[in-house]
Structure 1
Protein backbone atom coordinates (compact mmCIF):
# COMPACT_ATOMS: atom_id res chain seq x y z
CA UNK A 1 0.00 0.00 0.00
CA UNK A 2 1.46 3.35 -0.98
CA UNK A 3 1.45 5.99 1.69
CA UNK A 4 0.34 9.51 0.88
CA UNK A 5 2.46 12.51 1.73
CA UNK A 6 2.27 13.34 5.42
CA UNK A 7 1.52 16.96 6.35
CA UNK A 8 3.83 18.37 9.02
CA UNK A 9 3.55 21.94 10.31
CA UNK A 10 6.54 23.72 11.87
CA UNK A 11 6.28 27.18 13.41
CA UNK A 12 8.80 29.76 14.59
CA UNK A 13 8.19 33.02 16.44
CA UNK A 14 8.57 36.60 15.28
CA UNK A 15 10.76 39.23 16.97
CA UNK A 16 10.27 40.27 20.63
CA UNK A 17 12.24 42.04 23.35
CA UNK A 18 15.97 41.85 22.73
CA UNK A 19 15.40 39.22 19.99
CA UNK A 20 15.10 41.62 17.03
CA UNK A 21 15.92 38.60 14.89
CA UNK A 22 14.25 35.51 16.33
CA UNK A 23 16.57 32.50 16.00
CA UNK A 24 13.55 30.17 16.00
CA UNK A 25 12.12 31.57 12.77
CA UNK A 26 15.58 31.66 11.12
CA UNK A 27 16.10 28.00 12.09
CA UNK A 28 12.66 27.06 10.71
CA UNK A 29 13.46 28.79 7.40
CA UNK A 30 16.70 26.78 7.22
CA UNK A 31 14.67 23.61 7.84
CA UNK A 32 12.31 24.60 5.00
CA UNK A 33 15.31 24.69 2.62
CA UNK A 34 16.40 21.22 3.75
CA UNK A 35 12.92 19.65 3.78
CA UNK A 36 11.87 16.46 5.57
CA UNK A 37 12.07 13.99 2.71
CA UNK A 38 9.82 13.17 -0.23
CA UNK A 39 6.90 11.79 1.75
CA UNK A 40 6.45 14.84 4.01
CA UNK A 41 4.56 18.00 3.05
CA UNK A 42 6.28 20.62 5.20
CA UNK A 43 4.36 23.82 5.99
CA UNK A 44 6.15 26.57 7.96
CA UNK A 45 4.63 29.59 9.68
CA UNK A 46 5.92 32.55 11.68
CA UNK A 47 3.76 33.24 14.74
CA UNK A 48 3.63 36.70 16.36
CA UNK A 49 4.59 36.90 20.04
CA UNK A 50 1.00 37.64 21.11
CA UNK A 51 -1.29 35.46 23.23
CA UNK A 52 -4.47 36.19 21.29
CA UNK A 53 -2.82 35.56 17.91
CA UNK A 54 -1.52 32.21 19.19
CA UNK A 55 -5.04 31.27 20.30
CA UNK A 56 -6.47 31.90 16.84
CA UNK A 57 -3.55 30.78 14.61
CA UNK A 58 -2.74 27.38 16.15
CA UNK A 59 -6.26 25.86 16.01
CA UNK A 60 -6.45 27.24 12.44
CA UNK A 61 -3.31 25.33 11.43
CA UNK A 62 -4.75 22.07 12.77
CA UNK A 63 -7.99 22.69 10.90
CA UNK A 64 -6.32 23.64 7.62
CA UNK A 65 -3.68 20.91 7.38
CA UNK A 66 -4.85 18.00 9.62
CA UNK A 67 -1.14 17.44 10.24
CA UNK A 68 0.47 14.26 11.44
CA UNK A 69 2.57 16.41 13.74
CA UNK A 70 3.01 20.09 14.63
CA UNK A 71 6.39 21.23 15.93
CA UNK A 72 6.73 24.68 17.47
CA UNK A 73 10.19 26.22 17.72
CA UNK A 74 11.06 29.06 20.08
CA UNK A 75 14.17 30.89 21.23
CA UNK A 76 15.45 30.85 24.80
CA UNK A 77 18.04 33.44 25.79
CA UNK A 78 19.23 31.07 28.54
CA UNK A 79 19.62 28.01 26.31
CA UNK A 80 23.05 26.80 25.21
CA UNK A 81 21.74 23.52 23.74
CA UNK A 82 18.76 22.57 21.57
CA UNK A 83 16.04 21.62 24.06
CA UNK A 84 13.13 19.20 23.59
CA UNK A 85 10.19 20.22 25.78
CA UNK A 86 8.14 17.36 27.22
CA UNK A 87 5.01 19.25 28.28
CA UNK A 88 3.03 22.47 28.20
CA UNK A 89 1.57 24.27 31.24
CA UNK A 90 -1.84 25.87 31.58
CA UNK A 91 -1.23 28.43 34.33
CA UNK A 92 1.16 31.22 35.28
CA UNK A 93 1.09 33.51 32.22
CA UNK A 94 1.80 36.94 33.66
CA UNK A 95 4.40 38.31 31.21
CA UNK A 96 3.10 40.95 28.77
CA UNK A 97 3.32 40.12 25.06
CA UNK A 98 4.28 42.37 22.13
CA UNK A 99 0.91 44.14 22.33
CA UNK A 100 1.30 44.68 26.11
CA UNK A 101 -1.37 42.06 26.82
CA UNK A 102 -1.56 39.02 29.06
CA UNK A 103 -4.57 36.75 29.75
CA UNK A 104 -6.66 38.04 32.66
CA UNK A 105 -6.95 34.52 34.06
CA UNK A 106 -3.16 33.98 33.59
CA UNK A 107 -4.07 30.67 32.03
CA UNK A 108 -4.26 29.16 28.59
CA UNK A 109 -7.50 27.15 28.64
CA UNK A 110 -9.78 27.86 31.59
CA UNK A 111 -10.65 24.55 33.23
CA UNK A 112 -8.02 22.68 31.19
CA UNK A 113 -5.56 20.21 32.75
CA UNK A 114 -2.61 21.77 34.60
CA UNK A 115 -0.07 20.14 32.26
CA UNK A 116 -0.33 18.23 29.00
CA UNK A 117 2.46 15.88 27.91
CA UNK A 118 3.41 15.35 24.31
CA UNK A 119 2.59 11.84 23.05
CA UNK A 120 6.13 11.77 21.64
CA UNK A 121 8.74 10.13 23.87
CA UNK A 122 11.25 13.00 24.00
CA UNK A 123 13.82 10.87 25.87
CA UNK A 124 13.81 8.40 22.98
CA UNK A 125 14.13 11.21 20.41
CA UNK A 126 16.97 12.82 22.38
CA UNK A 127 18.87 9.50 22.62
CA UNK A 128 18.45 8.78 18.91
CA UNK A 129 19.51 12.26 17.78
CA UNK A 130 22.52 12.14 20.09
CA UNK A 131 23.84 9.06 18.23
CA UNK A 132 23.70 10.78 14.81
CA UNK A 133 26.97 12.66 15.27
CA UNK A 134 25.42 16.12 14.77
CA UNK A 135 27.53 19.06 15.91
CA UNK A 136 24.66 20.17 18.17
CA UNK A 137 23.86 19.04 21.73
CA UNK A 138 20.23 18.09 22.39
CA UNK A 139 18.76 18.04 25.92
CA UNK A 140 15.34 17.58 27.59
CA UNK A 141 13.21 19.95 29.68
CA UNK A 142 9.84 19.89 31.48
CA UNK A 143 9.46 23.67 31.75
CA UNK A 144 8.97 25.74 28.59
CA UNK A 145 9.01 29.01 30.58
CA UNK A 146 5.44 30.34 31.11
CA UNK A 147 5.63 32.83 28.26
CA UNK A 148 4.52 32.60 24.63
CA UNK A 149 6.51 29.42 23.97
CA UNK A 150 4.84 27.48 26.78
CA UNK A 151 1.48 29.11 25.95
CA UNK A 152 1.70 28.07 22.29
CA UNK A 153 2.79 24.56 23.24
CA UNK A 154 -0.10 24.04 25.65
CA UNK A 155 -2.58 25.49 23.13
CA UNK A 156 -1.31 23.07 20.50
CA UNK A 157 -1.19 20.03 22.83
CA UNK A 158 -4.75 20.76 23.96
CA UNK A 159 -5.92 21.09 20.36
CA UNK A 160 -4.10 17.97 19.12
CA UNK A 161 -4.52 15.61 22.10
CA UNK A 162 -0.74 15.62 22.53
CA UNK A 163 0.38 15.31 18.88
CA UNK A 164 2.63 18.36 19.15
CA UNK A 165 6.24 19.02 20.04
CA UNK A 166 8.22 22.05 21.15
CA UNK A 167 11.90 22.72 20.52
CA UNK A 168 13.82 25.56 22.15
CA UNK A 169 16.90 26.89 20.35
CA UNK A 170 19.58 29.25 21.67
CA UNK A 171 20.08 32.70 20.10
CA UNK A 172 22.03 32.62 16.83
CA UNK A 173 25.79 32.22 17.27
CA UNK A 174 25.39 31.27 20.96
CA UNK A 175 26.83 28.80 20.02
CA UNK A 176 25.15 27.51 16.83
CA UNK A 177 24.76 28.91 13.31
CA UNK A 178 21.44 29.04 11.48
CA UNK A 179 22.58 26.12 9.31
CA UNK A 180 23.46 23.98 12.35
CA UNK A 181 20.06 24.71 13.90
CA UNK A 182 18.26 23.89 10.64
CA UNK A 183 20.06 20.54 10.34
CA UNK A 184 19.36 19.76 14.00
CA UNK A 185 15.64 20.50 13.52
CA UNK A 186 15.57 18.27 10.44
CA UNK A 187 17.13 15.36 12.36
CA UNK A 188 14.93 15.90 15.44
CA UNK A 189 11.67 16.08 13.49
CA UNK A 190 12.53 13.02 11.38
CA UNK A 191 13.15 11.07 14.60
CA UNK A 192 9.92 12.42 16.11
CA UNK A 193 7.93 11.22 13.10
CA UNK A 194 9.58 7.82 13.36
CA UNK A 195 8.88 7.51 17.10
CA UNK A 196 5.29 8.70 16.55
CA UNK A 197 4.73 6.19 13.75
CA UNK A 198 6.06 3.27 15.79
CA UNK A 199 4.00 4.15 18.85
CA UNK A 200 0.89 4.51 16.67
CA UNK A 201 1.67 1.24 14.92
CA UNK A 202 1.48 -0.48 18.31
CA UNK A 203 -1.78 1.28 19.16
CA UNK A 204 -3.32 0.38 15.77
CA UNK A 205 -2.26 -3.27 16.14
CA UNK A 206 -4.06 -3.43 19.47
CA UNK A 207 -7.20 -1.90 17.95
CA UNK A 208 -7.33 -4.25 14.99
CA UNK A 209 -7.65 -7.48 16.98
Structure 2
Protein backbone atom coordinates (compact mmCIF):
# COMPACT_ATOMS: atom_id res chain seq x y z
CA UNK A 1 0.00 0.00 0.00
CA UNK A 2 1.68 3.21 -1.18
CA UNK A 3 1.89 6.04 1.37
CA UNK A 4 0.13 9.36 0.88
CA UNK A 5 2.44 11.88 -0.78
CA UNK A 6 1.62 15.58 -0.57
CA UNK A 7 3.57 17.21 -3.39
CA UNK A 8 2.52 20.79 -2.66
CA UNK A 9 0.65 22.80 -0.03
CA UNK A 10 -0.58 26.36 -0.46
CA UNK A 11 -3.30 28.73 0.72
CA UNK A 12 -6.03 30.13 -1.48
CA UNK A 13 -9.63 29.92 -2.70
CA UNK A 14 -11.02 26.66 -4.09
CA UNK A 15 -10.11 25.75 -7.65
CA UNK A 16 -13.10 24.83 -9.87
CA UNK A 17 -12.44 21.07 -9.94
CA UNK A 18 -10.92 20.70 -6.49
CA UNK A 19 -12.04 17.98 -4.10
CA UNK A 20 -13.74 19.87 -1.28
CA UNK A 21 -13.14 18.83 2.33
CA UNK A 22 -14.67 20.26 5.51
CA UNK A 23 -12.72 19.80 8.75
CA UNK A 24 -14.29 20.80 12.06
CA UNK A 25 -12.80 21.39 15.50
CA UNK A 26 -14.49 22.36 18.74
CA UNK A 27 -14.57 25.66 20.58
CA UNK A 28 -13.48 26.46 24.16
CA UNK A 29 -14.69 24.46 27.14
CA UNK A 30 -13.71 24.09 30.78
CA UNK A 31 -10.07 25.10 31.14
CA UNK A 32 -9.37 25.08 27.39
CA UNK A 33 -9.49 28.69 26.21
CA UNK A 34 -8.48 27.30 22.82
CA UNK A 35 -9.62 23.75 22.25
CA UNK A 36 -6.71 21.43 21.33
CA UNK A 37 -8.76 20.13 18.41
CA UNK A 38 -9.10 23.66 17.01
CA UNK A 39 -5.37 24.28 17.49
CA UNK A 40 -4.73 21.38 15.12
CA UNK A 41 -7.50 22.22 12.65
CA UNK A 42 -7.28 25.99 12.17
CA UNK A 43 -3.91 26.07 10.31
CA UNK A 44 -5.61 24.14 7.50
CA UNK A 45 -8.24 26.76 6.69
CA UNK A 46 -8.28 27.54 2.95
CA UNK A 47 -5.38 25.15 2.44
CA UNK A 48 -4.88 23.54 -0.96
CA UNK A 49 -3.17 20.15 -1.02
CA UNK A 50 -1.83 18.59 -4.20
CA UNK A 51 -1.57 14.87 -3.57
CA UNK A 52 -0.14 12.09 -5.68
CA UNK A 53 -2.99 9.79 -6.70
CA UNK A 54 -3.32 6.32 -5.27
CA UNK A 55 -2.53 3.18 -7.21
CA UNK A 56 -5.64 1.68 -5.60
CA UNK A 57 -9.16 1.94 -7.08
CA UNK A 58 -10.48 5.50 -7.27
CA UNK A 59 -14.00 6.55 -6.36
CA UNK A 60 -15.23 8.52 -9.40
CA UNK A 61 -17.67 10.60 -7.33
CA UNK A 62 -14.80 12.11 -5.36
CA UNK A 63 -13.22 13.45 -8.53
CA UNK A 64 -16.31 14.48 -10.44
CA UNK A 65 -18.64 15.16 -7.55
CA UNK A 66 -19.54 18.56 -8.99
CA UNK A 67 -19.92 17.34 -12.59
CA UNK A 68 -23.29 16.18 -13.87
CA UNK A 69 -21.69 13.95 -16.53
CA UNK A 70 -20.31 10.49 -15.74
CA UNK A 71 -16.57 10.01 -16.10
CA UNK A 72 -15.35 7.90 -19.00
CA UNK A 73 -12.57 5.35 -18.50
CA UNK A 74 -10.09 7.49 -20.45
CA UNK A 75 -10.92 10.41 -18.18
CA UNK A 76 -10.42 8.24 -15.10
CA UNK A 77 -6.98 7.19 -16.34
CA UNK A 78 -6.00 10.81 -16.96
CA UNK A 79 -7.23 11.85 -13.53
CA UNK A 80 -5.31 9.01 -11.86
CA UNK A 81 -2.03 10.28 -13.35
CA UNK A 82 -2.37 13.92 -12.28
CA UNK A 83 -1.98 15.22 -8.72
CA UNK A 84 -5.29 15.55 -6.95
CA UNK A 85 -6.23 19.07 -5.89
CA UNK A 86 -7.88 19.12 -2.46
CA UNK A 87 -9.25 22.29 -0.87
CA UNK A 88 -9.83 22.34 2.90
CA UNK A 89 -12.35 24.51 4.72
CA UNK A 90 -12.35 24.58 8.52
CA UNK A 91 -15.14 25.34 10.96
CA UNK A 92 -15.22 25.70 14.75
CA UNK A 93 -18.27 24.22 16.49
CA UNK A 94 -19.24 25.22 20.06
CA UNK A 95 -19.13 22.51 22.73
CA UNK A 96 -22.91 22.57 23.12
CA UNK A 97 -25.57 20.06 22.16
CA UNK A 98 -27.89 22.71 20.73
CA UNK A 99 -25.05 24.07 18.56
CA UNK A 100 -24.41 20.64 17.08
CA UNK A 101 -28.11 20.07 16.40
CA UNK A 102 -28.53 23.47 14.75
CA UNK A 103 -25.39 23.09 12.63
CA UNK A 104 -24.95 19.49 11.52
CA UNK A 105 -27.87 19.28 9.06
CA UNK A 106 -26.63 22.39 7.27
CA UNK A 107 -23.17 20.90 6.84
CA UNK A 108 -24.70 18.16 4.69
CA UNK A 109 -27.24 20.27 2.80
CA UNK A 110 -27.05 20.66 -0.96
CA UNK A 111 -25.54 23.22 -1.09
CA UNK A 112 -24.14 23.25 2.47
CA UNK A 113 -25.19 25.98 4.87
CA UNK A 114 -22.49 26.83 7.42
CA UNK A 115 -22.72 29.27 10.34
CA UNK A 116 -20.80 32.50 9.95
CA UNK A 117 -17.54 32.36 11.94
CA UNK A 118 -16.95 34.97 14.63
CA UNK A 119 -13.36 35.41 13.48
CA UNK A 120 -13.20 37.03 10.00
CA UNK A 121 -9.91 35.21 9.37
CA UNK A 122 -11.96 32.02 9.04
CA UNK A 123 -14.65 33.20 6.66
CA UNK A 124 -16.15 30.31 4.71
CA UNK A 125 -15.47 30.17 0.97
CA UNK A 126 -18.52 29.43 -1.16
CA UNK A 127 -19.50 25.83 -0.36
CA UNK A 128 -19.69 23.31 -3.22
CA UNK A 129 -23.13 23.13 -4.81
CA UNK A 130 -23.34 19.35 -4.46
CA UNK A 131 -21.90 19.16 -0.96
CA UNK A 132 -18.49 18.44 0.50
CA UNK A 133 -16.62 15.36 -0.70
CA UNK A 134 -15.30 14.43 2.74
CA UNK A 135 -16.25 15.60 6.22
CA UNK A 136 -13.69 15.15 8.98
CA UNK A 137 -14.44 16.01 12.62
CA UNK A 138 -11.73 16.43 15.26
CA UNK A 139 -12.23 16.52 19.04
CA UNK A 140 -10.11 16.32 22.17
CA UNK A 141 -9.99 13.34 24.51
CA UNK A 142 -7.62 12.40 27.30
CA UNK A 143 -3.88 11.85 27.23
CA UNK A 144 -2.72 9.20 24.77
CA UNK A 145 -2.52 8.28 21.09
CA UNK A 146 -4.68 9.60 18.28
CA UNK A 147 -7.94 7.68 18.19
CA UNK A 148 -9.99 7.18 15.04
CA UNK A 149 -13.60 6.36 15.79
CA UNK A 150 -15.56 3.71 13.92
CA UNK A 151 -19.06 4.19 15.34
CA UNK A 152 -21.32 7.04 16.46
CA UNK A 153 -24.01 6.51 19.10
CA UNK A 154 -27.58 7.74 19.10
CA UNK A 155 -28.31 7.58 22.84
CA UNK A 156 -26.58 7.54 26.22
CA UNK A 157 -25.44 11.17 26.63
CA UNK A 158 -25.22 11.86 30.37
CA UNK A 159 -22.68 14.69 30.51
CA UNK A 160 -23.40 18.41 30.53
CA UNK A 161 -21.94 20.49 27.72
CA UNK A 162 -19.79 23.62 28.09
CA UNK A 163 -22.94 25.68 28.71
CA UNK A 164 -24.07 23.40 31.53
CA UNK A 165 -26.86 21.84 29.47
CA UNK A 166 -27.71 18.20 28.89
CA UNK A 167 -28.53 16.56 25.58
CA UNK A 168 -32.24 16.42 24.67
CA UNK A 169 -34.39 13.86 26.46
CA UNK A 170 -35.69 11.23 24.06
CA UNK A 171 -37.33 8.74 26.45
CA UNK A 172 -39.50 8.79 29.56
CA UNK A 173 -37.78 9.62 32.88
CA UNK A 174 -38.69 6.15 34.15
CA UNK A 175 -36.35 4.55 31.67
CA UNK A 176 -33.00 4.10 33.41
CA UNK A 177 -29.86 4.05 31.32
CA UNK A 178 -27.28 1.30 31.87
CA UNK A 179 -24.20 1.98 33.93
CA UNK A 180 -21.25 3.29 31.89
CA UNK A 181 -18.77 0.77 30.55
CA UNK A 182 -15.25 0.53 31.91
CA UNK A 183 -14.02 2.22 28.73
CA UNK A 184 -16.38 5.13 29.35
CA UNK A 185 -15.23 5.44 32.97
CA UNK A 186 -11.58 5.60 31.92
CA UNK A 187 -12.34 8.17 29.22
CA UNK A 188 -14.31 10.30 31.69
CA UNK A 189 -11.34 10.26 34.05
CA UNK A 190 -8.93 11.28 31.30
CA UNK A 191 -11.21 14.05 30.13
CA UNK A 192 -11.81 15.47 33.61
CA UNK A 193 -8.10 15.51 34.44
CA UNK A 194 -7.14 16.96 31.06
CA UNK A 195 -9.74 19.71 31.27
CA UNK A 196 -8.87 20.57 34.86
CA UNK A 197 -12.28 19.69 36.30
CA UNK A 198 -10.71 17.44 38.93
CA UNK A 199 -7.04 17.67 40.00
CA UNK A 200 -5.01 14.51 39.54
CA UNK A 201 -4.33 14.36 43.28
CA UNK A 202 -8.04 14.39 44.06
CA UNK A 203 -8.96 11.43 41.90
CA UNK A 204 -10.54 8.52 43.68
CA UNK A 205 -12.60 5.57 42.44
CA UNK A 206 -15.53 6.27 40.11
CA UNK A 207 -18.77 7.13 41.81
CA UNK A 208 -22.33 6.78 40.45
CA UNK A 209 -22.56 6.85 36.66
CA UNK A 210 -18.82 7.18 36.30
CA UNK A 211 -18.40 10.45 38.20
CA UNK A 212 -14.94 10.46 39.73
CA UNK A 213 -14.82 11.11 43.45
CA UNK A 214 -11.93 12.79 45.19
CA UNK A 215 -10.86 13.67 48.67
CA UNK A 216 -13.09 16.74 48.57
CA UNK A 217 -16.08 15.16 46.85
CA UNK A 218 -17.21 15.43 43.25
CA UNK A 219 -16.52 18.32 40.89
CA UNK A 220 -18.24 21.59 41.98
CA UNK A 221 -20.81 21.20 39.20
CA UNK A 222 -21.05 17.48 38.41
CA UNK A 223 -20.97 17.19 34.61
CA UNK A 224 -22.77 13.85 34.63
CA UNK A 225 -26.47 13.24 35.24
CA UNK A 226 -26.50 11.33 38.55
CA UNK A 227 -30.22 11.41 39.26
CA UNK A 228 -31.70 8.14 40.42
CA UNK A 229 -33.86 7.77 37.31
CA UNK A 230 -31.81 9.07 34.42
CA UNK A 231 -33.78 9.99 31.30
CA UNK A 232 -32.50 8.70 28.01
CA UNK A 233 -30.72 11.52 26.19
CA UNK A 234 -29.49 11.90 22.64
CA UNK A 235 -31.13 12.08 19.22
CA UNK A 236 -34.92 11.94 19.20
CA UNK A 237 -37.37 13.61 16.83
CA UNK A 238 -36.23 13.39 13.24
CA UNK A 239 -33.82 10.53 13.94
CA UNK A 240 -36.35 7.79 14.69
CA UNK A 241 -35.47 5.83 11.54
CA UNK A 242 -31.75 5.73 12.20
CA UNK A 243 -30.05 2.86 14.02
CA UNK A 244 -28.70 3.25 17.56
CA UNK A 245 -25.17 2.89 16.18
CA UNK A 246 -23.96 4.21 12.83
CA UNK A 247 -20.59 3.14 11.37
CA UNK A 248 -18.30 5.25 9.24
CA UNK A 249 -17.89 4.17 5.62
CA UNK A 250 -14.16 4.84 5.79
CA UNK A 251 -12.03 1.70 6.06
CA UNK A 252 -10.39 2.62 9.36
CA UNK A 253 -8.17 -0.47 9.54
CA UNK A 254 -6.55 0.26 6.19
CA UNK A 255 -6.28 3.95 7.03
CA UNK A 256 -4.40 3.23 10.26
CA UNK A 257 -2.13 0.81 8.42
CA UNK A 258 -1.27 3.61 5.99
CA UNK A 259 -0.62 6.04 8.84
CA UNK A 260 1.75 3.64 10.57
CA UNK A 261 3.56 3.01 7.29
CA UNK A 262 4.10 6.75 6.93
CA UNK A 263 5.54 7.05 10.45
CA UNK A 264 2.43 8.06 12.41
CA UNK A 265 2.72 5.23 14.91
CA UNK A 266 0.72 6.56 17.87
CA UNK A 267 -2.79 5.91 16.56
CA UNK A 268 -5.46 3.28 17.06
CA UNK A 269 -9.12 2.66 16.27
CA UNK A 270 -12.01 2.84 18.71
CA UNK A 271 -15.59 1.60 18.90
CA UNK A 272 -16.52 4.00 21.72
CA UNK A 273 -16.48 7.71 20.86
CA UNK A 274 -17.27 8.65 24.46
CA UNK A 275 -20.99 9.58 24.55
CA UNK A 276 -20.16 13.27 24.78
CA UNK A 277 -20.10 16.15 22.26
CA UNK A 278 -17.59 14.36 20.01
CA UNK A 279 -19.78 11.28 19.76
CA UNK A 280 -22.86 13.50 19.43
CA UNK A 281 -21.41 15.37 16.45
CA UNK A 282 -20.11 12.16 14.86
CA UNK A 283 -23.48 10.41 15.02
CA UNK A 284 -25.36 13.49 13.83
CA UNK A 285 -23.02 13.91 10.88
CA UNK A 286 -23.24 10.23 9.91
CA UNK A 287 -27.04 10.37 10.12
CA UNK A 288 -27.32 13.52 8.02
CA UNK A 289 -25.00 12.06 5.37
CA UNK A 290 -27.30 9.04 5.14
CA UNK A 291 -30.39 11.24 5.09
CA UNK A 292 -29.09 13.28 2.15
CA UNK A 293 -27.98 10.17 0.25
CA UNK A 294 -31.42 8.62 0.72
CA UNK A 295 -33.12 11.79 -0.50
CA UNK A 296 -30.87 11.93 -3.56
CA UNK A 297 -31.78 8.34 -4.35
CA UNK A 298 -35.47 9.28 -4.29
CA UNK A 299 -34.85 12.40 -6.39
CA UNK A 300 -33.02 10.64 -9.23
CA UNK A 301 -35.65 11.94 -11.63
CA UNK A 302 -34.37 15.44 -10.91
CA UNK A 303 -30.92 14.54 -12.29
CA UNK A 304 -29.21 15.23 -8.97
CA UNK A 305 -25.78 13.56 -8.99
CA UNK A 306 -25.99 10.96 -6.19
CA UNK A 307 -23.18 11.10 -3.66
CA UNK A 308 -22.58 9.83 -0.14
CA UNK A 309 -20.19 12.03 1.80
CA UNK A 310 -17.68 9.99 3.84
CA UNK A 311 -17.67 11.08 7.49
CA UNK A 312 -14.88 10.41 9.98
CA UNK A 313 -14.04 11.42 13.54
CA UNK A 314 -10.65 11.51 15.24
CA UNK A 315 -9.85 12.21 18.88
CA UNK A 316 -6.60 14.00 19.66
CA UNK A 317 -4.96 14.40 23.10
CA UNK A 318 -4.44 17.67 24.96
CA UNK A 319 -1.46 19.67 23.74
CA UNK A 320 1.78 17.75 24.30
CA UNK A 321 0.14 14.66 25.83
CA UNK A 322 1.98 13.28 23.88
CA UNK A 323 1.19 14.90 20.52
CA UNK A 324 1.64 18.60 19.81
CA UNK A 325 -0.83 20.39 17.57
CA UNK A 326 1.60 20.40 14.63
CA UNK A 327 1.77 16.60 14.77
CA UNK A 328 -2.01 16.32 14.87
CA UNK A 329 -2.27 18.71 11.89
CA UNK A 330 0.17 16.50 10.00
CA UNK A 331 -1.96 13.43 10.75
CA UNK A 332 -5.11 15.25 9.60
CA UNK A 333 -3.49 16.06 6.26
CA UNK A 334 -2.41 12.45 5.81
CA UNK A 335 -5.93 11.19 6.52
CA UNK A 336 -7.49 13.70 4.12
CA UNK A 337 -5.08 12.66 1.39
CA UNK A 338 -5.73 8.98 2.02
CA UNK A 339 -9.52 9.25 2.01
CA UNK A 340 -9.60 11.47 -1.07
CA UNK A 341 -7.38 9.18 -3.12
CA UNK A 342 -8.86 5.80 -2.22
CA UNK A 343 -12.07 3.89 -2.24
CA UNK A 344 -13.56 4.79 1.15
CA UNK A 345 -16.10 2.01 1.29
CA UNK A 346 -15.22 -0.90 3.58
Q: Structure 2 length normalisation: TM-score?
A: 0.53
Residue matched to 1:27: 40
1:84 aligns with 2:158: no
Q: 1:33 to 1:163 in 2, by over 3 A?
A: closer
Aligned CA RMSD, in angstroms, stands at 2.0
For structure 1, which runs of at least 5 residues remain unmatched after alignment? Answer: 201-209
1:150-181 deviation per Cα after TM superposition (whole angstroms, max 9, x unaligned): 00000000011272100100000111121111
Q: 1:151 to 1:70 in 2, by over 3 A?
A: same
Aligned 8 A contact 2:21 2:135 in 1: yes
1:104-131 deviation per Cα after TM superposition (whole angstroms, max 9, x unaligned): 2202244231100001010110001110
Following superposition of structure 1 onto structure 2, how do residues 18-97 of structure 1 map, counting pairs within 5 Å?
Answer: 18-32=31-45, 35-37=48-50, 39-63=85-109, 64=112, 65=127, 66-77=131-142, 79-97=143-161
- What is the Cα deviation at residue 18 of structure 1? 3.0
Partners of 2:274 and 2:251 lie apart in 1 by: 20
Partners of 2:31 and 2:325 lie apart in 1 by: 18
For structure 2, which runs of at least 5 residues remain unmatched after alignment? Answer: 1-15, 51-83, 113-126, 171-232, 291-308
Partners of 1:46 and 1:152 lie apart in 2 by: 12
- What is the aligned counterpart of 2:234 among 88, 96, 107? 107
Residue matched to 2:258: 128
Q: 1:52 to 1:115 in 2, by over 3 A?
A: same
Q: Secondary structure at the match of 1:39?
A: strand
Moved over 6 A (4+): none
Partners of 2:150 and 2:144 lie apart in 1 by: 18
Q: Structure 1 length normalisation: TM-score?
A: 0.86
Question: Which stretch has the larger CA shift, 175-184 or 28-37?
Answer: 28-37
Q: 1:150 to 1:193 in 2, by over 3 A?
A: same
Partners of 1:174 and 1:58 lie apart in 2 by: 29
- What is the aligned counterpart of 2:21 among 8, 23, 48? 8
Structure number with higher strand proportion: 1
Q: Secondary structure at the match of 1:54?
A: helix
Partners of 1:98 and 1:22 lie apart in 2 by: 12
Question: Which stretch has the larger CA shift, 43-52 or 176-185?
Answer: 176-185
Q: Secondary structure at the match of 2:274?
A: coil
Q: Secondary structure at the match of 1:98?
A: coil
- What is the Cα deviation at residue 44 of structure 1? 0.3
Structure number with higher helix proportion: 1
Q: 1:27 to 1:140 in 2, by over 3 A?
A: same
Structure 1 or 2, whichever has the larger Rg, is 2
- What is the Cα deviation at residue 35 of structure 1? 4.3
Aligned 8 A contact 2:18 2:87 in 1: yes
- What is the Cα deviation at residue 10 of structure 1? 0.3
1:78-115 deviation per Cα after TM superposition (whole angstroms, max 9, x unaligned): x4111110010001012111222221220224423110
Residue matched to 1:206: none
- What is the aligned counterpart of 1:119 among 249, 272, 277? 249
